[in-house]
Amino acid sequence: MVNYLDGLLGHAARRPDEPALSLPDRTLSRAELAASLAGVSAGLAARGVPAGGVVAIAARGQAACLRAILGTILGGRVALPIDPAAVPADLDRLLAQSGAAAILADGWEALPSGRPVIALGELPAMADPAAVRHAGGDHWAQIVVSSGTTGPSKAAPASHAQMLQRTRVLVPLLGLGADDRYLPLIDLAYALGRHSAVRVLDVGGAVVLRPLPATVPQLLALLRAERITYLSLTPTHVRAVLDGMDEAEPALPAMRALSVSGSALPLADRLDVRRRLTPGLHISYGSNEMGFATHAGPAELDLAPACVGRALAGIRVEIVDDARATVAAGTIGEIRVAGAQMHDAYLGGDASGHRDGWFHPGDTGWLDAHGLLHLAGRTDDRINFGSNKVYPFEVEAVLRTHPAIADCAVFGVPSRQHQEVVAAAVVLSAATTTGELRAHCRARLARSKIPALFLLLDRLPRNATGKVLVRRLREQLSGKAS
């Protein structure tokens, strides 16, 4: 049975001296990295953590985090990476729910009590990878905690086989190979950054870890100097890079694949990326529960610049109405997904989102005539204004065309008269008034879609992967709609 790290182990056996992990002060070969991960597995076994046992990972620093998580998985234990920003009450709940056998720690000042704590630095530096490798297969390899942007966070386990499928299905679409180099800008405690690292290691490429510069020009210079060919970003990262750069021509011409996921990337930003950073933009849609479900490379973005792509191999994507009947192309409805790489249930047996063999990730969208998926928003964010249904993406797209708006998020607020009214949180880049914004919308939208409430902010509240915390915005306007 497969182990999630079989690709790395295979490359380590065939070409052991090739570089795998580039650190500021040294480079680990494939064989050295595999042996380092095996040292973690051997150390956990020596401390009585059995195969199948859940190990919470509380490691600060990219190198320590990567070693702790992958070393835990290699030996058949289940890695539960802890969010560095998580509050103690949430951590206690998560550890209890998962039945964590121990906490593998490095650099954390305060840790939850009640579980044995194992210091990463006290584990063996190296061991034999073949001796500790566990035949994972359908056994759990990791538990990933959802972002909780629209409700309480949930913990989704995934098996070795599922994670390997999620890793490899994108490789031919991204065009990755043994000469690729990946530098994580997203903390490796988060799945989005970590899975991209494993994807490169799985094809025999190298992961580069460096302190991130303070300015965008310095970051771009670093990416060029380190010959980085693969990058994974959230829309928030993209906007920050675009805002901070001064190059007029593509700043990263050697970038083979700049992959963006995590939330919807506005069309204007997509066009900017392809013009100012690299033509090699890739957009993926998915979640912690299912991995990626669709993918759009340059060819798909040429055809439909605002899409999130086609269903991946082995994945079925459908759009259904409230009665769960499929709808015609171009009709907005709820997205549902099926495939072997989907999770079966959250921790505790919670099967919410699963219906009739399909997983409903909680998003709305439509399929165009080419079979490309377009996102409309979250099902929770669909606004019921009387008998009209308003989708936030429509209103946000109009607001973004106003020259004074730097960022925005549209959502519904409960109303005594209309069920809900449209509200917009906006970040301004120039002086304007809510009256001017409303007039801008009135000229371009139906009456039911014009924001009744505006919330002016210095910035939108987002989680670590860039998703807007809609619940927090809604709370600020609670009770203000008539």
pLDDT in tens, 315-348: 999 999 989 999 999 999 999 999 988 777 788 7
Provide the token pair at 375: 């996102």
Strands (E), 131-280: 140-145, 155-159, 181-182, 206-208, 230-233, 257-260
Alpha carbons 349 and 341: distance in angstroms, whole number: 18
- Say whether both 160 and 261 belong to one domain: no
- Say whether both 436 and 317 belong to one domain: no
Between 286 and 154, residue with greater pLDDT? 286
How confident is residue 418, by pLDDT bands cut at 50, 70 and 90? Answer: low
Domain containing residue 459? 382-477
What is the model's pLDDT at position 334?
95
How confident is residue 213, by pLDDT bands cut at 50, 70 and 90? Answer: very high
pLDDT in tens, 37-73: 999 999 999 999 999 999 999 998 999 999 999 999 9
Domain assignment present for residue 40? The answer is yes
CATH number at residue 410: 3.30.300.30
Among 23-32, 162-171, 208-217, 457-466, which stretch is predicted with the lowest mean pLDDT?
A: 457-466
Instruction: Transcribe 14-55 into DSSP letters.
Output: HSTTSEEEE-SS-EEEHHHHHHHHHHHHHHHHHTT--TT-EE
The phi and psi torsions of 398 (rounded to 5 degrees) equal -70, -45
pLDDT in tens, 10-31: 999 999 999 999 999 999 999 9
- Say whether both 158 and 242 belong to one domain: no
Residues 208-231, mean pLDDT to the nearest whole number = 96
How confident is residue 150, by pLDDT bands cut at 50, 70 and 90? Answer: very low
DSSP code at position 116? -
How confident is residue 32, by pLDDT bands cut at 50, 70 and 90? Answer: very high
Alpha carbons 413 and 423: distance in angstroms, whole number: 6
Domain assignment present for residue 332? The answer is yes
- Say whether both 230 and 331 belong to one domain: yes
Count of CB atoms situated within 10 Å of the CB of 259: 23
How confident is residue 164, by pLDDT bands cut at 50, 70 and 90? Answer: very high
Q: How many domains does the chain have?
A: 3
Q: Look at residue 349 and tell me whether its pLDDT is greater than 80.
A: no
Residues 228-251, mean pLDDT to the nearest whole number = 89
CATH number at residue 232: 3.40.50.12780
What is the separation, in whole angstroms, between the first and last Cα of the chain? 60
Between 82 and 263, residue with greater pLDDT? 82
Strands 54-59 and 102-106: parallel
Residues 468-479, mean pLDDT to the nearest whole number = 85
Within 216-283, residue ranges assigned H as helices are 216-225, 235-244, 267-272
Instruction: Transcribe 77-89 into DSSP letters.
Output: PEEEEPPTT--HH
Q: Look at residue 147 and tell me whether its pLDDT is greater than 80.
A: no
Arithmetic mean of pLDDT over the chain: 91
Domain assignment present for residue 203? The answer is no
- Say whether both 146 and 249 belong to one domain: no
